[in-house]
């Protein structure tokens, strides 16, 4: 099977459903536009990249109007709190009657009430097919005390039951070993 055949055999709707099984926090990127006005957009994905140097990644659809404002600009990654459901809907295309509350921190607009905020300087951009991958160098951060807003299966959620036996604070360090699987039984 060639790579082209393999890629064409994946149904876009099924792939989107599979991606939707990954629960994620809800993030909005904000920046000062080339016209001097503040802009914000829901991002498709957010990921921690590196602690040293401090790097975070966001992914935007290539057709997003926000993507053009991030080329070489400083921006904030606003990790929304569970209390910011209406703000999430606003940036997902269901505008509020009033503008979401925000403040200007230096030259970067930041939403108010976030679970956490990472202020970044553009570090690199990558082609991601129908998306643009933007890696930012984290220049400053603010931690709130609110729980994050979650997204799973096409709907917003709050954190539920806490399970025991988790990875704790060391999750970012990654696995210390690459463990083999036991041989399959016939």
Instruction: Give me the pLDDT at residue 2, please.
Output: 47
Parent domain of 141: 24-160
Instruction: Give me the pLDDT at residue 1, please.
Output: 41
| Model confidence pLDDT, tens digit, residues 115-156 | 999 999 999 989 989 888 999 999 999 999 999 999 888 888
- Residue, of 163 and 149, whose pLDDT is higher: 149
Asked whether residue 36 is domain-assigned, the answer is yes
Distance CA 3, CA 17 (A): 22
CATH for 84 = 2.30.110.10
One-character DSSP codes across 70-133: GTT-EEEEEE-BGGGHHHHHHHTT---SSPPPEEEETTEEEESS-SEEEEEEEEEEEEETTEEE
Instruction: Give me the pLDDT at residue 167, please.
Output: 56
Distance CA 111, CA 109 (A): 7
Asked whether residue 75 is domain-assigned, the answer is yes
**Tally of structural domains, the chain:** 1
Asked whether residue 43 is domain-assigned, the answer is yes
């Amino acid at each position: 099977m060639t790579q082209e055949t393999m890629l064409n055999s994946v149904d876009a709707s099924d792939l989107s459903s599979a991606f939707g099984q990954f629960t994620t926090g809800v993030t909005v990127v904000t920046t000062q536009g080339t016209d001097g006005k503040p802009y914000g957009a829901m991002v498709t994905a957010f990921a921690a990249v590196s602690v040293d140097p401090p790097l975070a990644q966001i992914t935007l659809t290539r057709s997003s109007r926000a993507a053009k404002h991030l080329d070489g600009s400083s921006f904030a990654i606003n990790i929304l709190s569970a209390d910011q459901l209406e703000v999430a809907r606003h940036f997902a295309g269901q505008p509020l009657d009033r503008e979401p509350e925000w403040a200007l921190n230096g030259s970067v607009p930041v939403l108010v009430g976030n679970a956490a905020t990472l202020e970044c300087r553009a570090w690199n951009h990558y082609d991601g097919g129908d998306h643009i991958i933007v890696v930012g160098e984290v220049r400053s951060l603010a931690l709130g005390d609110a729980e994050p807003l979650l997204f799973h299966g096409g709907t917003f959620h709050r954190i539920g039951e806490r399970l025991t036996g988790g990875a704790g604070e060391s999750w970012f360090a990654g696995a210390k070993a690459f463990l083999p699987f036991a041989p399959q039984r016939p």
